[in-house]
Structure 1
Amino acid sequence: MSDAAAGPMPRRDLLLGGVLVGASALAFALQPRALPDDASMPLGDAVPQRVAGFQAIAAKGFVLPDAGPLSDRIYVDLLTRLYAADGSPSVMLLMAKGRVDDPGMSVHRPERCYRSAGFSIEDKGLARLPAPFPADARAVRMTARREDRVEQVLFWTRVGSRFPASALDQRLFTVRENLAGILPAGLLFRLSVLGDDSAAAFTLLERFNRAVVAASAPARMTLLGQ
């Protein structure tokens, strides 16, 4: 190597190098960080096999989130269970936990899944979630209809400590958390029954939702977060 090549670095290069190092450090500091996952318990352990007189049995016939690489990237845990009781329609439960390390994480909302499976969405509205949910927490009630099937659906999503009632609210809250340097964990909780009687179905689903949340302290932590 020549003496010229081994000489001191020009001042301009030193300044440029310092700027690049500083920009890299700033970008790293501003990168959203994942909070400890407040829903760390496996979903299958969080929800008991027996709820409000219903017993979990072999599950089939669920409308599931779209399969493929996107779902594999978004979801870290997925639970489906069918709960049966004498003299009552069976209740289908689906829970999905989002990956906390995905800065664009947004759990798939059921409207999209049902439409992808050929259903039309009818009579969509909001229902207040009772304590111990936050006062502003809302669930979505809707009827999903296809030629061969009618399903009454009650669902809610949790992103961090919030319960957004719409896809827009969900995206906006996730973006705000990302800009604040936080990667919020996400959870989808969906209940449904088959049949045309929406009034009776939603009475049952709301009662079942309350029973699941009240089942145990671990269940409440997993469902409601910190």
Structure 2
Amino acid sequence: MSISTRAGVLCALMLSSAAGAYYLKPTVHMAGQTTLDLERMVPKQFGDWSYLPDARPILPDREVEARLKEVYDQVLARTYINGSGERVMLSIAYGGDQSRGMQIHKPETCYTSQGFQVKTIGDAVLRFKDTDIRTRQLLATSGPRSEPITYWIRLGDTTVYGGLGQTIRRLQMGFQGVIPDGTLVRVSTIDRDNDRAFQIQRAFSDALLQSVDATARNSLVGAIK
């Protein structure tokens, strides 16, 4: 093959790749199909759990807070208490644009940036009705503070595991021409007994999902079977 022929083939490949990228570029924002208000969507009382307004969550430093505001359109942070005096911290962050540069930040990154030592306990499935919610369990420690954490990421109409899961789901929806929205739900407790903490968090999460309507559940965990 001559140099001129090779150059022509290379040019054709570059043009076809550029055309493919143009036509496959997502143009429809999933977020435009729904209206979300976390403050109203999440009840302050459900099951045996009640909102504890005097409990103040640990706030991120200014640099971290600025980055979060770039990624998330809405953030909700509350502490709940039940009849047994058990407390659960709930954090929900919603981002309407989950393109690569705007994707949800995992709690591993956020906690580490605030000086916590973070250990991954493992992945776990939270079963709700006939749907598996993909969750990840962590342990964040700082001095005497021990904070077991359960979180999940909803991207589009399903939950995903970690950064790779986010990438795969984003590409799948991208081929459909859709830019997904996403929600990070984090549930944590202050407890040195991990097993007990995760059990409480499962019960809390189930009660929360039972208490909200179908539209809110879709926003939190995706499509429920």
Question: What TM-score, normalized by structure 1, do the two folds share?
Answer: 0.78
Go from structure 1 to structure 2 and tell me whether the alpha carbon gap of 1:55 and 1:168 turns closer, same or farther (over 3 Å shift): same
Change (3 A) 1:150 1:133: farther
SS at match of 2:131: coil
The answer for the alignment partner of 1:222 in structure 2 is 219
| Aligned residue identity for 2:96 | R
Aligned residue number for residue 147 of structure 1:
143
Q: 1:32 aligns with which of 26, 30, 48?
A: 26
Q: CA deviation at 1:105?
A: 3.1
SS across alignment from 1:196: coil
- Conserved in 2, the CA contact under 8 Å of 1:91 and 1:192? yes
Contact 2:121 2:137 in 1 (8 A): yes
CA offsets 1:52-77 (integer angstroms, 9 cap, x no match)? 21211224133659212x32221001
Give the AA of the match of 1:225.
G
Amino acid at match of 2:25: Q
Q: Which moved more, 1:137-146 or 1:35-44?
A: 35-44
Matches within 5 A, 1:1-226: 29-37=23-31, 40-58=35-53, 59-62=55-58, 64=60, 66-68=64-66, 70-100=67-97, 102=99, 104-132=101-129, 134-135=131-132, 137-217=133-213, 218-226=215-223
Say how many residue pairs are matched.
Answer: 202
3-state DSSP of counterpart to 1:194: coil
| Structure 2 segments unaligned to the other structure (5+ residues) | 1-17
The amino acid that maps onto 2:35 is: S
Cα RMSD between the aligned structures? 2.6
Report % sequence identity.
Answer: 27
1:103 Cα offset (Å): 5.4
Secondary structure of the equivalent of 1:156? strand
Deviations 1:27-56 (A, max 9, x none): 764431234426622111111101221211
What one-letter code is carried by the residue in structure 1 that aligns with 2:143? Answer: E
Task: Report the Cα distance in structure 1 between the residues aligned to 2:201 and 2:93, rounded to whole angstroms.
Answer: 18
The one-letter code of the counterpart of 1:34 is V
Gaps of 5+ in 1: 1-23
> Normalising by structure 2, what TM-score?
0.79
Larger Rg: 1
Cα deviation, 1:64-94, whole Å, max 9, x if unaligned, reads 59212x3222100100011023433211000
| SS of residue in 2 equivalent to 1:214 | helix
- Supply the distance in 1 between the matched residues of 2:130 and 2:42 (Cα, whole angstroms): 17
Q: Do the aligned partners of 2:158 and 2:222 also contact (CA within 8 Å) in 1?
A: no
Give the match's secondary structure for 1:187. Answer: strand
Shift of 1:102: 4.4
Distance 1:103 1:142, change over 3 A: closer
Over 3 Å counting, the alpha-carbon distance change for 1:133 and 1:83 in structure 2 is farther
